[in-house]
Amino acid sequence: MPTEWKLFADLAERAGDKHVTVDAGAGDTVGAALTELVDDRPDLEGRVLTDDGELRSQINVLRNGTNVLVEEEGLETELEEGDELALFPPVSGG
Amino acid sequence: MYVLGICDRGADRDAVKRAVDRTVDCLERRGRVGVVSYDATIADGQAIHESNVVGGDVSYELGADGDWAASGTGLNVANALDRLAVECEYAVVTGISDLRYPTVLIGDRASDHSDDDVLAAVDAPGDLDVDAVADALEETEPHRTLESLVARVKRSPNADRSGAIATFTGRVRAKDDPDDARTEYLEFEKYEGVADERMAALEADLEEREGVLEVELHHRTGVVRDGEDIVFVVVLAGHRTEAFRTVEDGINRLKDEVPLFKKEVTVDDEFWVHERT
């Protein structure tokens, strides 16, 4: 069962789309879904990952509205059936 | 207040009027409805209705049971909607072809559109499923103003324990410095669903505070032009100290926690604000 990424602001522009579906699904990790997302998207990869492949500090990853870096196991968080993932830069409302 | 435009796409005047009547009848069963009719042929101080009042730039005629009629000069559609927002749940606008609100199109050219804001496009007013339009309208972003949010908190069942209302209004700043390139507009992108959940959770969290009775947060999305309002925080509280603190914490937390993204368009540049700060 595939998983959908929602992308926002300049990350969507770099990816060329606001929605990207990846093959990673239940039992895989958020990190695996991220690797698949940035594969073939070097502009997005450079924006969200450091040269060492670590997630840049200002990038947010949400799983079903919950920040996986703060409230879950980060990129090791395991996906469940039908999860919605979101990737976005620092928020800038107001 | 939800705003709905009803626009002519090849329909005659009577057909548009029938569509407005049917829609207003349906909305009136759900809440108070305002109607704004724009007619560019009314000009040069020509009064729309014969009035019994002599003189005055704005005049009201009032009856004993609260019925009234008004006429005046110097009002545009945007201002009229701002006024209606204080006391109406819905507004219907006719006579404008390119309204920045959800619309219904009537006439034989109605189906020829590619606009996401179109809730229904029908040949004749009888084809309009007014309940479906009303349901779809309630899924759109409501029109809110500072005054409408203040009026809303004043209607709170807790209002009799309130001695203070404090508010914050964030607006589009054309320039930070006199030499800056002028900002034309900001465009806000929202994480649909999650942004609203976070705002609701933030309101609930602030309302838990001792002495805080009601909190209203509203943030516009899409294009917001130079000089227009973007965001409101309105707090109804027992006393001023908690009202002021909650307004400040409310706007700071909204800016930190709610997934909204701001693109700035100036006269000579365009950029995502988070990439410049």
pLDDT along chain B (277 residues), means of 10: 95 93 97 94 66 75 93 91 97 90 93 86 94 96 97 97 98 94 96 96 98 98 95 98 98 97 95 90
Q: What integer pLDDT is reported at residue B44 of this predicted model?
A: 64
- CA dist A26 and A36 (Å) reads 15
A77 lies in some domain: yes
Whether residue A41 is contained in a domain is answered as yes
d(CA B71, CA A13): 49
Strands B58-62 and B68-72, bridge-based pairing: antiparallel
Residue at token pair 């001695």? B163
Q: For position A18, which CATH number holds?
A: 3.10.20.30
**The pLDDT value given to residue B51:** 61
> In A, which residues are within 8 Å of B259 by CB distance?
8, 60, 62, 86, 88, 91, 93
Name which of A30-39, A85-94, B52-61, B164-173 the model is least confident about.
B52-61
Q: Which residues are CB-neighbours of A6 under 8 A, at least 6 positions away?
A: A18, A19, A84, A85, A86, A87, B191
Nearest chain A Cα distance for residue B79, angstroms: 23
Which member of B260, B263, B277 has the closest CB to residue A93?
Answer: B260
Rounded CA gap, B263 and B271, in Å?
A: 6
pTM, rounded to two decimals: 0.90
Please choose, from the candidates A26, A19, A34, the residue with its C-alpha nearest in 3D space to the C-alpha of residue A2. A26
d(CA B199, CA A48): 26
Domain regions of chain B by residue span: 2-137, 146-276
Number of domains in chain A: 1
In a domain? residue A28: yes
The Cβ of residue B274 has, within 10 Å, a number of other Cβ atoms equal to 17
CATH superfamily, with its number, for domain B146-276: Molybdopterin biosynthesis MoaE subunit (3.90.1170.40)
**Domain-embedded: residue A93:** no
Residue of A nearest to B224 (CA): A94
CA-to-CA distance for B20 and B103, rounded, in angstroms? 12
CA A86/CA B126 separation, integer angstroms: 43
Q: Are B160 and B238 in contact (CB under 8 A)?
A: no
Protein fold of B2-137: Rossmann fold (3.40.50)
Specify the 3-state DSSP secondary structure of A38: helix
Rounded to the nearest angstrom, the minimum Cα separation between A79 and chain B is: 19
